[in-house]
């Protein structure tokens, strides 16, 4: 016995009047979630087809200032940039350029650790995080100041996971795929995004350049969570990974984009993206999370989109964005309902935008809220705030040995992945300068003999992080191992 085709997307009916009642409750739900979380500000929009049903801002752009968030406030959207990038890519496909085009064909000098994978990894593989690159490949290079080109040329030093069978989320893998497409059409990625998507859709407040975000008067400041409070402590220039995490936008612009997705590439009657190229991005390409039990649902990833089904059986496409330095975002579309909702916030990731979106969709589909979404998502994001480093939470041993003369550790240490580290004596400690211009500095304080302690900084170093720097001197090759940078076995410098 065979079926005539796949089951319909609306196999489970939603609650009668659910959309209207969800809209009626939305403002109260948003305010309740913000009050419970302490996040300073948020903006939310809802679309039904090409109709904007709701757009409003809440709270303030910056703690200590009076400027309010409104529907026009521009936020850094972090990894919500990925589905934006996938939409741009889809708009360029055809005439020989496809999701299956090998990236190396348009990326001179691009290489991964395995030559066969280098030759065969496609734009789609990179957008689906199935290239074999390890989790967060290249992120630590961005932390210490390297630009996009420098990072992409170093990816070949990273050991690969099994190709096309392993899902590992990699910002710079996706960025490489986007760069290949931009090169194929003969322009820069930032310019391509403007020409292919932002301008045709009228996304006038959306940019792929950090300097243009800074030029916005009505923009939200990042707020990081430290000691339980959100404070405006950091800035985040994500230009190195713009396709994966560097877009800035507001909910009005993103509402137009969601309407484009819901109509499979058509907006206001004009086809901007071929449905044949966009739909593969919105449908599963790899399992991103195993179910773990037979009564649970697995999660999937398309090309730049999280994809799957919700508890009612409706297909969904979504993505979150998170800067631990102070931004959290989320959107979700339910194509069979013609519905899209987006939430942008100016506080670090604790599940607020996801809770807003999920609470709204619960009310639409069930007529009531089924779970404490803020608590559930807060637990899921808790690992973002776990201090990194082997010395986190540790005190210096009471019987610690003294280091040798500090001058013995000073000098230039070399590393093919991270580049040179220049170690100098400053007072009773050492300072190691990393990065292309030595702009990323680590104060190395004596810990135990030839082991020193340092506090890393940046997007991947939560508050409370502390790591070791261990020197091996004398004899043959002398080494300096920085444990925080040794995730992929590349954290040892020599001299």
Is 140 part of a structural domain of the chain? no
CA distance 388 to 308: 32
The pLDDT, as a whole number, for residue 226 is: 84
- 294 and 213 share a domain? yes
Q: Which regions in the chain score pLDDT beneath 70?
A: 1-11
Bridge partners (DSSP) of residue 41 are: 59
Same domain, 415 and 454: yes
Answer yes or no: is 114 within a domain.
no
Total domains in the chain come to 2
Whether 322 and 438 map to the same domain: the answer is: no
Considering the domain boundaries, does residue 134 fall inside one?
no
Q: In this predicted structure, what is the pLDDT of residue 8?
A: 52
CB-based contacts of 327-330 (< 8 A; 24+ apart in sequence): 327/75, 327/76, 327/77, 327/78, 327/220, 327/222, 327/236, 328/39, 328/78, 328/352, 328/353, 329/75, 329/77, 329/78, 329/79, 329/80, 329/353, 330/80, 330/354, 330/356, 330/357
- Mean model confidence pLDDT for the chain: 96
Around 300, how many Cα atoms within 13 Å sit in the side-chain half-sphere? 17
CB 459 within 8 A of CB 245: no
- CATH number, residue 268: 3.40.710.10
191 lies in a domain? yes
The reply to whether 299 and 193 lie within a common domain is yes
Same domain for 418 and 370: no
Query: Directed axis angle between helix 352-366 and helix 18-37, to 10°?
Result: 160
Q: How far is CA 450 from CA 57, 396, 404, in A?
A: 53, 13, 7
Whether the CB-CB separation of 42 and 55 falls below 8 Å is answered with no
Asked if residue 193 and residue 325 are part of one domain, the reply reads yes
Domain that holds residue 222: 18-97+185-385
Task: Please provide the distance, in angstroms rounded to a whole number, between the alpha carbons at the two ends of the chain.
Answer: 70
> Percentage helix, strand, coil, to 5, in the chain?
30, 25, 45
Domain harbouring 468, CATH code: 2.40.128.600
Q: In 276-370, which ranges are E strands?
A: 286-289, 299-301, 306-309, 315-323, 327-334, 339-345
Q: Does residue 157 fall inside a structural domain?
A: no
**What DSSP designation does 34 have?**
H
State pLDDT tens for residues 181-208. 999 999 999 999 999 999 999 999 999 9
Q: Say whether both 214 and 70 belong to one domain.
A: yes
Asked if residues 429 and 444 have their Cβ atoms less than 8 Å apart, the reply is: yes
């Amino acid at each position: 016995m065979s079926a005539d085709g796949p089951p319909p997307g609306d196999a489970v009916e939603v609650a009668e009047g659910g959309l209207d009642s969800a809209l009626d409750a939305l403002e109260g739900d948003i305010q309740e979630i913000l009050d419970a979380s302490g996040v300073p500000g948020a903006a939310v929009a809802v679309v039904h087809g090409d109709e904007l049903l709701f757009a409003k801002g809440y709270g303030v752009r910056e703690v200590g200032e009076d400027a309010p968030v409104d529907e026009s406030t521009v936020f850094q959207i972090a990894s919500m940039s990925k589905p934006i990038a996938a939409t741009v890519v889809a708009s360029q496909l055809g005439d020989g350029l496809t999701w299956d085009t090998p990236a190396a064909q348009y990326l001179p000098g691009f290489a991964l650790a395995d030559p066969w994978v280098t030759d065969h990894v496609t734009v789609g593989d990179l957008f689906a995080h199935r290239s074999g690159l390890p989790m967060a490949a290249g992120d630590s290079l961005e932390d210490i100041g390297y630009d996009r080109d420098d990072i992409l040329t170093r990816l070949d030093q990273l050991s690969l996971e099994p190709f096309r069978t392993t899902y590992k989320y990699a910002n710079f893998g996706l960025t490489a795929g986007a760069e290949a497409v931009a090169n194929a059409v003969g322009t820069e990625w930032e310019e391509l995004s403007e020409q292919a998507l932002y301008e045709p859709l009228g996304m006038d407040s959306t940019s792929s350049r950090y300097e243009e975000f800074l030029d916005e008067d009505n923009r939200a400041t990042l707020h990081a969570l430290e000691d339980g409070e959100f404070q405006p402590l950091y800035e985040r220039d994500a230009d190195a990974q713009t396709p994966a995490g560097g877009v800035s936008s507001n909910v009005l612009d993103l509402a137009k984009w969601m309407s484009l997705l819901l109509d499979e590439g058509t907006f206001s009657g004009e086809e901007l993206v071929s449905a044949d190229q966009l739909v593969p991005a919105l449908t599963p390409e790899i399992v991103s999370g195993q179910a773990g039990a037979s009564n649970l649902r697995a999660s999937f990833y398309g090309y730049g989109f999280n994809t799957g089904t919700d508890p009612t059986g409706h297909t969904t496409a979504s993505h979150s964005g998170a800067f631990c330095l102070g931004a959290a975002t989320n959107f979700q579309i339910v194509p069979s309902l013609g519905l899209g909702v987006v939430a942008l916030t100016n506080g670090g990731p604790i599940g607020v935008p996801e809770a807003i979106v999920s609470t709204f969709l619960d009310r639409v589909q069930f007529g009531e809220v089924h779970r404490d979404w803020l608590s559930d998502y807060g637990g899921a994001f808790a690992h973002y705030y776990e201090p990194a480093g082997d010395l986190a939470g540790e005190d210096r041993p009471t019987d610690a040995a003294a280091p040798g003369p500090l001058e013995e550790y000073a000098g230039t240490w070399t590393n093919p992945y991270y580049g040179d580290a220049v170690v100098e004596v400053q007072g009773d400690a050492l300072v190691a300068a990393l990065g292309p211009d030595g702009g990323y500095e680590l104060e190395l304080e004596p810990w135990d003999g030839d082991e020193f302690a340092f506090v890393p900084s940046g997007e991947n170093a939560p508050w409370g992080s502390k790591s070791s720097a261990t020197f091996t001197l004398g004899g043959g090759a002398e080494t300096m191992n920085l444990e925080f940078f040794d995730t992929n076995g590349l954290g040892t410098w020599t001299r």
